[in-house]
Amino acid sequence: MFSKSCEYGIKAVIYIATQTLQNKRVKIGDIVDNIGSPEAFTGKILGTLTKRGIVISYTGPYGGFEIDPLKMESTKVSDIVCAMDGDTLYNGCGLGLNECNSRQPCPMHDKFVVVRSQLKNMLETTTVHDLAMGLKSGRYFLARTNCTMTNGN
């Protein structure tokens, strides 16, 4: 459904948000360890998320990544998806056909329109803060273990 870069981008943002809630700035190695992503690929993803204003990057010995706590409450998962994958999730054919629309639908078109609408609604109503709080509480998990637990919390 999402590209690999989008999946890692969502995971990275959620992880960074949980650490921001604990007043911690995180290094790329910490992100990689906690979301199970390749380091070079994660660096590229974080560059995109920084350019789009979703995360903040700091350099130097006290550098790392964080998210503005106020922006965390207004940033939707759809913002991350758009930054990483554009709007193809909302517009492309479910079967990958070049020409698929209501006038010339593929066999999955009508059902896919319903699913796509529900997915879009979910992504546009779920905030980074919502997911970070769920992760912090232990309700949700990233990678193989709850990432907040891997840091001794």
What global pTM score does this model have?
0.86
Q: Residue 58's CB: how many other CB atoms inside 10 A? A: 10
In a domain, 153, yes or no: no
Q: Residue 142's CB: how many other CB atoms inside 10 A? A: 20
In a domain, 83, yes or no: yes
Query: What H or E segment, with its residue span, contains residue 145?
Result: none
| pLDDT tens figures, 70-102 | 999 999 999 999 999 998 888 778 888 888 888
User: What is the domain-level CATH number for residue 55?
Assistant: 1.10.10.10
Q: Which domain holds residue 29?
A: 4-148
Q: Residue 121's CB: how many other CB atoms inside 10 A? A: 11
